[in-house]
Structure 1
Amino acid sequence: MLKGLNQFEGEWQLTRIIKDRRNDVEGRLSGIATFTPSAPLELQYEEEGELVYGQQPSMIATRRYIWRGFEGEHASKIAVAFEDGSPFHVIALDRSMPDDDHQCDPDFYHVSYDFTAWPEWEAVWRVVGPSKDYRMISRYKRM
């Protein structure tokens, strides 16, 4: 079982499949995700990879988040925030397959993590809204 935020520190090989049901398109990303300490109990998450989306030419895709750990009774939780610091979702490390929701009107995001094969893990997002309907599976493997 995962014990805390510091277990994510370092570089991870990232592969992602995006199944866009609304547009009947599949995307694939291959790249690297890096967790870098930025403050006590805080990691900066940065990913960069080559994204091929349907028949479109490949492009470089990037994302950044802030992962914050806790001490005391909440030490088994990680709060994930957007790059600007606004809240996104929470990961409960005391469960091998935690999940959480994020409402971003008019869209709804649900994430399920799977840490059962640690140090390989995945995050599966289901996103629905008036102009969105996709499933995104991100797999991470320690480099």
Structure 2
Amino acid sequence: MTSPKPFMPTERQLGDFVGSWTLSRSITPAQGAQARFEGEARLSRTADGAAYEEAGVLYLEGAAPMKAERRYRWAEDLSVFFEDGRFFHKVPAKGGRTTHFCDPDTYTVDYDFSAWPVHTVRWTVKGPRKSYVMVSRYAPVAAP
């Protein structure tokens, strides 16, 4: 009898992320009310990589829903940059963990591609004034 082959994650490339995704996100602070975001993310090819844009509605307990959006730049090697060009972090091609330090806060992020193309991104944020977990679930937008 042969042993089952171990799971070998596929290395993701920038082109794998290009397109439109439904995005649902939960934000759970160590103290205080939970929040959620519902919207869409889009990664569009550019001359030097891709532009990431997300837009949707943020729901905070005890507050009126509000529009929210965010933008980043992605490079071919899966490096992610803020809109102003500062380096943010690099997405692990096979999934896994990476970090971003923004003095005095530490952002630890886990990318899970095991159910690709559906994937999750889990941020754990710790600092003197920040302490929360944010989980984002991306799923491809269904073709009309």
Same fold per TM (> 0.5)? yes
Identify the match of residue 35 of structure 2 among 27, 43, 47: 27
AA of the residue aligned to 1:14? L
8 Å CA contact 2:59–2:66 kept in 1: the answer is yes
Counterparts of 1:115 and 1:89, CA distance in 2:
17
Q: TM-score by structure 2 length? A: 0.88
The one-letter code of the counterpart of 1:27 is: A
CA positional deviation for 1:66: 0.7
Tell me how far apart the structure 2 counterparts of residues 115 and 6 of structure 1 sit (CA, whole Å).
15
Determine the structure 2 residue equivalent to 1:103: 101
Give 1:2 deviation, angstroms.
3.7
Q: What is the one-letter code of the residue matched to 1:66?
A: R
Give % identity.
Answer: 39
Aligned pairs for 1:1-143 within 5 A? 1-22=10-31, 24-40=32-48, 42-70=49-77, 78-93=78-93, 95=94, 97-143=95-141
Could you list the runs of 5+ residues in structure 2 that have no partner in the other structure?
1-9
Deviation at 1:87?
A: 0.4
**Corresponding residue number in structure 1 for 2:7:** none
**In 1, Cα distance between the equivalents of 2:50 and 2:97?**
20
Amino acid paired to 2:122? V
SS in 1 for 2:16: helix
**Aligned-pair Cα RMSD in Å:** 1.0
Structure with larger Rg:
2
Report the alpha carbon displacement of residue 119 of structure 1 after superposing the two structures with TM. Answer: 0.3
Q: Normalization by structure 1: what TM-score?
A: 0.88
Structure 1: gaps of 5 or more residues: 71-77
Task: Write 1 or 2 for the structure with the bigger share of strand.
Answer: 1
Moved over 3 A (4+): none
